[in-house]
Structure 1
Amino acid sequence: MNVGFIGTGSMGSILIEAFIRSNALHAEQIIAGNRTRSKAEKLAEQYPGIRVADSNAEIAADSTIVFICVKPMEYKKVIDEISGVMSADQIVVSITSPVLIKHLEEMLPCKIAKVIPSITNYELSGATLCMYGNRMGQEDRELLESLLKQISTPMPVSEQYTRIISDLSSCGPAFLAFFIRKFIEAAVAKTGIPEAEATLLASQMVVGTGKLLTSGGFTPETLERRVAVPGGITEAALKLLERELCGVFDQLVDTTHEKYDEDLLKVEMNFLEQQADQH
């Protein structure tokens, strides 16, 4: 089985590297291409055996599964380039949330899935959020998920929750990293603790907390209660956070949803404009 990647930017390269490092795919099974060819060639130098394609059509024609890893406004151009060479038994996987499954099913003859990966997949952990079009049968889903299981926990979800599940799974690492960075900066500024030491302590704390919330049997609420002794230091700090951050996360969700709606409208208009030009 050959797997194609149209786009080798941040997330495309993360997926390729994770699949190879996990032995889910051998480099020889991967066909990759990028608008800037040198980026794909650099990846092929790092992982000998990866084939760098001359065109998106070449990737599509020679792959069982094709991952489209480009920006939302580039999708229509890519689809126009590959639609004529794809067949009904192939699978196209979009990793971009504003491009809806219905958009792809209307323009491509193949099976369609949408997968939202996470930077955590680079360490063969975290979730991949899976959404499926009407042409994806059970065997197709199992084939795709068997690949994703090597680098993540595949989680079938409803497309209507695309934005919020992306916030939690895909954007979440950046939000958490921001919180940790600010915590470290305050620790260094207020106490003089070496930054490297504070960073190591905070990073190890995140690893341990993740294990408690997954395999450790804790929920966020029960973990808070277990750590925060009544009348103690942690409880006092949690009260501060509750008071000062009240409403911040509501605003965060509002902000990401507003940007998603804006991007979704731009994608739909782009598809409509290019279809009109063709007629």
Structure 2
Amino acid sequence: MKKELGIIGIGNIGSMLLNKFIELNLLEQKNIYVANRSKEKLENLEKKYPSINICESNEELAKCCKNIMICVEPLNLPNVLNEIKTYLNDETYLMISTSMVVHKDISKFHKGSISIFMPTIISMVNGGITITYHNDIVKEDEKMFFEGLINSFSEVKVLGEEDINLSQNLTASFPGFFAEIMLEFVKSASKRSKNVSYDNLEHMLLVSLLGASRFLLEKNLGFEETINRVSTKGGITYEGVKVFKEKLPEVFDAALEASTGRYDAITKKASEEVDKLI
């Protein structure tokens, strides 16, 4: 497969992916084509990567590229697909960076190869999981092209489309969930601290979290086994764990209910937008 790639949308996700592709020498600048609604972003991009191909429109990009990665907001995706549908054919491979527009709706614009994936901001530091769904038409060389790019800075986990809604809470949404949980933890600790500053409490927690994650992964430990190792009955950790065990299930059930419900609502709205265009 020719190593050329078109990227539509240079927002947070599109720019992160583009920077990784170039930073890790996965693609040559001259083989990358970009299109974006904001011309200012394109001008800044051209200064940073002078050999990159700047396209004046999404249609121009679709004319030039067979491998197209679309990184726009879910409710903007139907309009982008409608703009470029004339230039899509059996050789076109679409890679869509949102799972909130489902395959059956995307396929109304393109009957060929489609991969849907959920990037994560953790990939900026070469980590995290990128959940991916390939439709039945995606060829092996196309899978190798896509997964070869993403696996260089994020672990690709291929799932069925029906599993993505829940799973993205553990991957793409996790940094935000984690930050809020840890923020509240530090606030509680700060109220009880006499001499340790808020910043120092936050730093100690972050370093401990990094070490804990490495420890569990490298020692192949599950969460329950880890709790048993560090939580001795009657000890301070044990008393804290008891409270978490009692209070957190209700919190996490409510959070997952809210996030998956919002996911379903956006998916429905996107589907309605698709039907308006078809």
Q: Does 110-119 or 26-35 show the bigger shift? A: 26-35
CA distance in structure 2 between the partners assigned to 1:161 and 1:144 by the alignment:
20
Q: Which residue of 2 aligns with 1:118?
A: 120
| Aligned partner (choices 215, 219, 227) of residue 216 of structure 1 | 219
- 2:190 partner letter: V
The CA RMSD over aligned residues, in Å, is 1.6
Conservation of the 8 A alpha-carbon contact between 1:17 and 1:122: no
Conservation of the 8 A alpha-carbon contact between 2:55 and 2:61: yes
Structure 1 residue 195, shift from structure 2 partner: 2.4
Q: Which residue of 2 aligns with 1:198?
A: 201
Q: What SS class does the counterpart of residue 25 from structure 2 fall into? A: coil
1:238 matches 2:241: yes
Runs (4+) off by over 4 Å: none
Using structure 2 for the length normalisation, give the TM-score. Answer: 0.93
CA distance in structure 2 between the partners assigned to 1:24 and 1:256 by the alignment:
34
CA distance in structure 2 between the partners assigned to 1:213 and 1:10 by the alignment:
30
Structure 1 residue 85, shift from structure 2 partner: 1.6
CA distance in structure 1 between the partners assigned to 2:220 and 2:137 by the alignment:
38
Q: Which residue of 2 aligns with 1:54?
A: 56
Identity within the alignment, %: 24
Q: What SS class does the counterpart of residue 213 from structure 2 fall into? A: helix
Structure 1 residue 76, shift from structure 2 partner: 1.7
Structure 2 residue runs without a partner (length 5+): none
Inter-CA distance 216–88: structure 2 relative to 1 (3 Å threshold) = same
Using structure 1 for the length normalisation, give the TM-score. Answer: 0.92
Inter-CA distance 202–143: structure 2 relative to 1 (3 Å threshold) = same
Structure 1 residue 109, shift from structure 2 partner: 4.3
Conservation of the 8 A alpha-carbon contact between 2:93 and 2:113: yes
Structure 1 residue 175, shift from structure 2 partner: 0.6
Per-residue CA deviations over 1:191-212 (Å, capped at 9, x if unaligned) read 0412222222111112112212
Per-residue CA deviations over 1:64-96 (Å, capped at 9, x if unaligned) read 421111112211211121111223122111111
Q: Which residue of 2 aligns with 1:150?
A: 152
